[in-house]
Structure formats: structure tokens, C-alpha cells
Amino acid sequence: MPGSDVFTPPTSFSSQAHVGSLDEYRSLCRRAEEDPENFWAEMAEAEVHWFEKWSHVFEWNPPFVKWFVGAKTNAAYNCLDRHLETRGDKAALLFEGEPGDRRSISYRELHEMVCRFTNVLKARGSRPGDRAIIYMPMIPEAVVAMLACARLGVTHSVVFGGFSAEALKARIQDLDASLVLTADGGWRRGKEVRLKDAVDEALTDCPGVRNVIVARRCGSSVQMTAGRDHWWHELEEGVGADCPAEVLDAEHPLFVLYTSGTTGKPKGILHTTGGYLTYTTCTMKWVFDLKEDDVYWCTADVGWVTGHSYLVYGPLSAGATCVLYEGAPDYPAWDRWWEIAARDKVTTFYTSPTAIRALIKQGDSYPAKHDLSALRLLGSVGEPINPAAWEWYHRVIGKERCPIVDTWWQTETGGIMISPMPGAVPLKPGSGTFPMPGILPEVVDFEGKPVAPGGEGFLIIKRPWPSMIRTIWGDPQRFEQQYFSRIPGIYFTGDAARCDEDGYYWILGRVDDVMNVSGHRLSTMEVESALVRHPAVAEAAVVGKPHEITGQAVCCFVTLKQGASTDHSALGKELRQWVAHEIGPFARPEEIRFAESLPKTRSGKIMRRLLREIVTSHTVTGDVTTLEDLGVVTKLAAQHDDD
Ligand code: WT7
């Protein structure tokens, strides 16, 4: 049962930890709460290099915040240059490609790669304030691309390689990017994911893109448009590696990351430089207890926020050695991750509950083949971790020695918000436990009133923090409306939660029309819009359906236009493929159900709540594709919902 077991940090862990007791944790929290200005100023001075200091620590004009006002810094300088003297020869990246190629890249080498590539960007005409799209596989060049943009002050937006050309195009257009950094392809389960082809398809409608720079990864042949497209290695020929970092404002836009909201249009979450770096660097110590000789592995793709904050910026700013693996966990076999972890003597391993459940299904023999004794800390992110997955992770991977940090946060929060500090906080499996210092969450009701301990409600954050979202790119109204309107001036997370009598937070999931598939956010509306673009579809309603591995799976109810094919099996296949093509393979629906009509309220709103009930509790069983039963249920429920 969740909540019944408590795991106290082993003394061997606490005694060496940055934060080694509950008292120490509480005293950090007290200082941050009572005197946020001095607390964050102290953290910023200790963890980040500044070319110039701030005039004041933060300026809060809800919903807009500025941190370290007037200060100057550079994210790439913090991730590279400042380590050269003390850690120049230390490995920054331990890269392994899916085909088995390996590269260990020191801080000095990474610095040189980034400097040279920044010079390439300058020579192609990029300037601070420009925007670049990065659409790359998990190879060192992806990290170089991010850091080169950061070094020059070009705001980047990494688009996950699993997104389609359509999704890529929408992001290029919304960001008005002039530069696209990509690769010919990347390796996934032994096959090439042809990224450059998708870029070509996307760029048919993006006249603002002047340069496309292509890293060679797979060696296959690709189309190169003269004047626009260039090979990365050719542009680097003869280019020097002397390139001082731009001195940028603390609030300089570092990156935009698109995430699903409640409408069909993804929103560009904007993060800036100084506060983001301060917070991600601090949490590397607090949550991952990072030490000089740790080997840290976060399995997230650079296309998601976890890949930004805890694969690139946080760990490199903190001077960590990071494993970077290109491919799938099951290629060539289900022990690929454990093989890498054993070889690189990984000490800290951060992944998602989805991945853990997929691994459990393959049995204990895969991890048993490898020596995982270097591991000292495990992490989880993306969705609540169910007790069975927690128990397996703890016993089979961590050998009951390693604390598990269950980290709750969001693309918008920039960094981890609720998580145990592993040397200080007793764990309750399934709970993210307590907030980080300076983070003031609360569980509230519809009116914003605090809910008594043990009760469920909406999770809000009462105070601004350094790495919080600054705005939605190009849409400050939507920013305010989405996050600061339910309770004016207070950040609304979109999650439901419960805080128990001991102050432990339990995240219960989204309260909006956003699904969580494999720890990735996907909006029901986004999939619906994709479906209704198909010529056979009249209407579509999409809900998340519980799934044993991915947490939720995409389940679609569609009605067809007059004259559409009656071969439901073929059309179902086609629609699943269609959504994968429109959004990306990771959004491919698990199931398409054909209906005569969709349940709606009298005012015409589709009742996803009812459909969710149907897919969750199976109140309508058997061949639901006929949905006569559904018709009856929905009529009743529609009346109920409108009353
Ligand atoms: C949503 C944010 C933050 C990086 C990955 C996802 C859910 C995330 C947890 C957790 C329970 C979690 C929430 C949140 N979520 N971590 N440890 N326990 N739920 O980022 O795509 O912005 O999604 O993921 O529902 O709101 P994202």
C-alpha cells in the first residue's frame, strides 16, 4: 500500500550527503522562506559565475518575474569555461551510440567543440536574440548545438526527434526561427530515423529559415538545398576555437520548449538564463547529491525538459560526468542500459516509471547479468511511480542500498520542485515527499482555499522561484490565463495532489485535458485536431486510457463522414498511422473506436469525462465499436452534465 512503508535514508548515504538530515533540510527551507532575497543571492553566488552582479534579486509583477535583475552571465560559460582550470580533463560526456560507437569527451574538448561551432554560427550570420530549432538525435553534437546557441545568445528550441515534420514546421513558424540544426539521421532499434527528410518536408513552408546545418551521423544520402543547407563538418573546416562567451543579461531568453496545453496548439514555454542556471545547479546537489566522482546518467531525450535541465544545463553547470546514450533500451537486447551502467560505473541513474515498467516486464535476468554495484542513487520523473515499479527499482536495480528520488516538476517549472533530498528525507514510495527550499506548494480547493491535510485538491505554487516559466512565446495573454487566472497571481500547476498529515505530497495527475503518455504530455485536443484533418473523419474525441507500461495510452472515438469506408479495421490502422504522421510516432493512438455519435452536453461540449469512464472502468463492454450502448449512456450522462 502506498504510504504504509517509510524508508529512512541509510546512514552510509546521509553521512556523506550534501544535506544529511531533516534538520538541515528544514533549516534551508526556513531560510529560503523567511528571506528569499538573501537565500537566492547566496545560492546564485555560490553556484553560478556572473560577469556582473544584480541590482536586486527578483522583481515580481504577477504573472511576470525577473530574477537577478541587471546581472550578466552566460549559460555555456557556466557549463564549460569555468570548469577548465579545475576539471579540464574530466569527462563531461560519456557517449555511446546505438551501434556501439563510443566517445569520452572531456570538459576541455567539449569547450573546444562548442567554441568552434559557435564561430560557425557567427560566420553564418547568427546573432544574439535570433532563434534556432534543434532537431537532432542523442549525439554529442546535440549538446554542442545547445551550448553553442547559449554561448552566442541564440535562443534555441529543441524539437524531440520523434516529432513529425508537421509538428516541426509548426514550431519553426511559431518561433520564427532563422536557423535549423539537425543531422542526416539517428539510430533507433537498428534503423535510421531520417531527420533531414523531415526537416526538408517542414521547410516547404518556412521562408524565414536561412541556414540548415546538418551533422553527419548515419552517413546515408540526403538532399542538400544549395545556399540553405550545409554540412556541419564542412563549415568547421579551418575554423578556430577561440570564441569568448557573449556577456548576456540574466533574463536573456535561453530556450523555448514546446509542450502540449489544453488546446490543439502547443505552447512555447520560455526559460531565461540566470535564474534557470541557479536553480538547476542547486537542485543537482540537493536532489542528486552530486559529488565530484559521480557518473551521472539521465536517460531523457534532449527534446524534453528533463533533457535540458538534468542532462545538459544542470549537470554540466555542476561539473558532472554525464552518460549520453543514443538509442533504445531494448537494442540489441533488454540489458543495454545495464551493460552501459556497469561499464561506465554509473553512480546516479535517473529515468521514468514507464521505462521501469517496460524493464520489469522483461524479468530480473537482464539486470542480474551486470555489475550495478557502483549505483548509489536512483531517480524517477514524469508521472507518479506505482508501488510495484518502486519496489522493483529499489530491490532489483538499487539492491535496497540506493534511495529513490521521485521528482515532481514540469516543463514550466524549469527544475525539480518536489522531491526528497536523499540523505535527509525518509521516503514514502509513490510520494515526491517535500518541496525544495524556497518552493511553497499548497493543495487548494476551487476557490483557492487550502484543503485540510489528507484532502485532495489543486496543486499551486505560492511564490515565484528562479527557474519558473517567464511567458508563453508570443502569447503573454495565454500565459496569464493558463497559469495565473484560476487564483489571480498564483501559479496553477494543472495537477491534482494530496498532502498527507506528515506533509508528504502525492501527485494525483492532471486536472485538464492533457494525457500523460510514457511521461510525456500530450493534449487530447492536439490528437483530435490531427484526426479531423483526415478526410474520412467527421468528429473525434480523445481520452487517455490506463496502460500497464505507458501509464496512459491514447484512445480515440471517431465519427465518420458520409461515404467513408466501412472497413473499420483498415481505417483504424490508417488513422493511427495518420496521427503518428501528423504529430509523431510517440502519439500513435493505441486504439480507434468508431461511433455513430459522440457524447456531448446540450451546449455541444464533448464529454471526455464520460469517455474516460468508459475506457477506464469498462462500463461498456464487448464490441464497443457499435456503441449503441454508448448512445444510451451518453444521453443520460449528457443530461446529468448540463444540469
Ligand atoms: C507533468 C509535467 C518534468 C519532466 C517530465 C514531464 C507529471 C512529472 C511527476 C512525478 C507525478 C509527475 C505531472 C506534471 N509529472 N513528474 N514525479 N510524479 N507526476 O514534464 O511534460 O512538462 O509534464 O508530468 O502531471 O504536471 P512535462
**pLDDT tens-place string over residues 482-533:** 999 999 999 999 999 999 999 999 999 888 889 999 988 899 989 999 999 9
Q: Tell me: the pLDDT tens digits for 432-442?
A: 999 999 999 99
- What DSSP designation does 438 have? T
Ligand 1, residues 160, 260, 417, 507: which to mutate, most atoms within 8 A of Cβ?
Answer: 507
Per-residue model confidence as pLDDT tens digits over 21-80: 999 999 999 999 999 999 999 999 999 999 999 999 999 999 999 999 999 999 999 999
Q: Which of 57-71, 140-154, 234-248, 262-276 has the lowest mean pLDDT?
A: 262-276
Cell 483504424 belongs to which residue?
A: 572
Using the Cα atoms of residue 460, residue 461, residue 464 and residue 470 in order, give the sign of their dihedral. negative
Q: How far is the CA of 414 from the centre of ligand 1 (A)?
A: 11
- CA of residue 316 relative to chain centroid, distance: 17
Index of the ligand 1 atom closest to the CA of residue 514: 25
C-alpha atoms less than 13 angstroms from C-alpha of 73 in its C-beta half-sphere: 32
Q: Which atom of ligand 1 is nearest to the CA of 407?
A: 17
Residue 614: pLDDT band with limits 50, 70, 90: confident
Question: Using CA atoms, how far apart are residues 511 and 494, in angstroms rounded to an integer?
Answer: 6
Question: What per-residue confidence (pLDDT) applies to 622?
Answer: 39
Task: Tell me, in angstroms, the distance from the centre of ligand 1 to residue 51's CA.
Answer: 34
Nearest CA to ligand 1 atom 18: 384
What are the grid coordinates assigned to 428, written together? 514514502
Higher pLDDT, 159 or 604: 159
Q: Whose CA is nearest to atom 23 of ligand 1?
A: 410
Say if residue 576's pLDDT is above 70: yes
| CA 67 to ligand 1 centroid distance, Å | 24
Q: What is the dihedral of CA 8, 13, 15, 20, to 10 degrees?
A: -60
- Residues 255 and 275: their CA atoms lie apart, in Å, by 13
Q: What span, in angstroms and rounded, lies between the C-alpha atoms of 507 and 504?
A: 10
The set of cell numbers assigned to 196 is 533531414
- Band (pLDDT 50/70/90 cuts) for residue 635 is very low
**Beta-carbon count within 10 A of 197 CB:** 16
| Residue 631 scores a pLDDT above 70 | no
Length of the chain: 643
Q: Categorise residue 132: left if φ over 0, alpha if ψ from -120 to 50, beta otherwise.
A: beta
**Banded pLDDT at 624 (limits 50, 70, 90):** very low
Confidence of residue 5 (pLDDT cuts 50, 70, 90): confident
pLDDT of residue 619: 58
Q: How far is the CA of 630 from the centre of ligand 1 (A)?
A: 32
DSSP 267: E
Residue identifier of the C-alpha nearest atom 6 of ligand 1: 382
Which ranges in 136-178 belong to alpha helices (H)? 140-152, 165-175
Please determine, for residue 632, whether its predicted confidence score (pLDDT) is greater than 60: no
How many angstroms does the Cα of residue 301 sit away from the middle of ligand 1? Answer: 15
For residue 392, the one-letter residue type is W
| The ligand 1 atom nearest the CA atom of 385 | 18
Q: Quick one: what percent of the chain has pLDDT higher than 90?
A: 88
| Predicted model pTM | 0.93
Write the residue with the smallest CA distance to atom 16 of ligand 1.
382
Reference 388, options 351, 430, 349; nearest CA is 430
Model confidence at 618, in pLDDT bands (50, 70, 90)? low
Q: Which helix (H) or strand (E) holds 58?
A: strand 56-61
For residue 140, give the C-alpha cell. 554529442
Residue nearest to atom 5 of ligand 1 (CA): 382
Kindly report the average pLDDT of the chain as a whole number. Answer: 93
Pairwise CA distance, residues 439 & 461, whole Å: 7
- List ligand 1's pocket residues with C-beta within 6 A: 259, 305-306, 381-384, 406-411, 432, 493-495, 507, 509-510, 516, 519-521
Alpha-carbon distance 641 to 232, whole Å? 57
Distance 337 CA to ligand 1 centre (A): 23
Q: Work out the pLDDT band at 642, boundaries 50, 70, 90.
A: very low
pLDDT at 637 over 50: no
If you measure from the C-alpha of residue 519 to the centroid of ligand 1, how many angstroms do you get, rounded to a whole number? 7
CATH architecture of residue range(s) 514-638 = 2-Layer Sandwich (3.30)
Give the span between the Cα atoms of 198 and 184, in whole angstroms: 10
Measured from the Cα of 509, ligand 1's closest atom is 25
Query: Which of 270, 409, 495, 550 to probe ligand 1 with, by most ligand atoms within 8 A of CB?
Result: 409
Pick from 521, 595, 581: nearest CA to 551: 521
Cβ neighbors of 332 (< 8 A, separation 6 or more) are: 190
CA of 352 from ligand 1 middle (Å) equals 10
- The per-residue pLDDT for range 385-418, each reduced to its tens digit, is 999 999 999 999 999 999 999 999 999 999 999 9
- Of the candidates 410, 483, 493, 439, the one whose C-alpha atom is nearest the C-alpha of residue 40 is 439
Atom 2 (ligand 1) nearest CA: 410
The whole-angstrom separation of Cα 415 and Cα 436 is 10
Predicted confidence at residue 211, as pLDDT, reads 98
For the chain, the straight-line distance linking the first and the last C-alpha, in angstroms and rounded, comes to: 38
Q: Are 317 and 78 in contact (CB under 8 A)?
A: yes
pLDDT digits (tens, 9 = 90+) for 323-342: 999 999 999 999 999 999 99
Provide the grid cell at 499: 498532502
Mutate to test the pocket of ligand 1, among 383, 469, 492, 498 (most ligand atoms within 8 A of CB): 383
> In whole angstroms, what is the distance from residue 121 CA to residue 519 CA?
34
Q: Give residue 257's pLDDT band: very low, low, confident or very high (50, 70, 90).
A: very high
Q: What is the pLDDT of residues 77-93, one digit of tens each?
A: 999 999 999 999 999 99
233: cell is: 563538418
Q: Give residue 349's pLDDT.
A: 98
SS3 assignment, position 281: helix
Residue of 310, 312, 381, 550 to test ligand 1 pocket, by largest number of atoms within 8 Å of CB: 381
Residue nearest (by alpha carbon) to ligand 1 atom 8: 382
Place of cell 497559469: 483
| pLDDT computed for residue 611 by the predictor | 86
To test the pocket of ligand 1, the residue of 306, 380, 516, 518 to mutate (highest count of ligand atoms within 8 Å of its CB) is 516
Residue among 393, 416, 521 to mutate when testing ligand 1 (max atoms within 8 A of CB): 521
Q: What is the pLDDT of residue 234?
A: 98
> Cα separation of 142 and 147, whole Å?
9
